[in-house]
Amino acid sequence: MISFKNVTVAGSGVLGYQIAFQTAFHGFEVTVYDINDEALSKAKAKFKILSEAFINDLHVTQEQLDAAFQRLRYSSDLATAVKDADLVIEAVPENPEIKIDFYQKLATLAPQKTIFATNSSTMLPSQFATYTGRPSQFVALHFANEIWKHNTGEVMKHADTSDDTFQAVLEFAKQIGMVALPIYKEQPGYIVNSLLVPLLSAGMDLWIRDIADIETIDKTWMVATGAPLGPFGILDVVGITTAYNINKMAADKTQDPVKLKIVETLKSEFIDKGRLGVATGKGFYTYPNPSYRNEDFLK
Nearer to ligand NAD among residue 102 and residue 244 (C-beta): 102
Q: CB of 91: closest distance to ligand NAD in angstroms? A: 4
Q: CB of 34: closest distance to ligand NAD in angstroms? A: 5
Position closest to ligand NAD via CB: 13
Is residue 117 a contact partner of residue 88, using CB atoms and an 8 Å limit? yes
Nearer to ligand NAD among residue 96 and residue 257 (C-beta): 96
Nearer to ligand NAD among residue 34 and residue 218 (C-beta): 34
Strands 179-183 and 152-156: parallel
Nearer to ligand NAD among residue 146 and residue 171 (C-beta): 146
Residues in contact with ligand NAD by the rule CB under 6 A: 10-16, 34-35, 39, 91-94, 98, 102, 119-121, 143, 145
Q: CB of 121: closest distance to ligand NAD in angstroms? A: 3
Backbone angles phi, psi at 191, to 5 degrees: -90, -45
Q: CB of 119: closest distance to ligand NAD in angstroms? A: 4
Q: How far apart are CA 102 and CA 96, in angstroms?
A: 10
Q: Compute the Cα dihedral for 222, 227, 232, 236 and give only its sign.
A: positive
Nearer to ligand NAD among residue 43 and residue 217 (C-beta): 43
Q: CB of 178: closest distance to ligand NAD in angstroms? A: 13
Nearer to ligand NAD among residue 50 and residue 208 (C-beta): 50
Backbone angles phi, psi at 45, to 5 degrees: -65, -40
Q: How far apart are CA 99 and CA 123, in angstroms?
A: 10
Q: CB of 37: closest distance to ligand NAD in angstroms? A: 11
Spatial CB neighbours of 109, under 8 Å, sequence gap ≥ 6: 78, 79, 82, 83
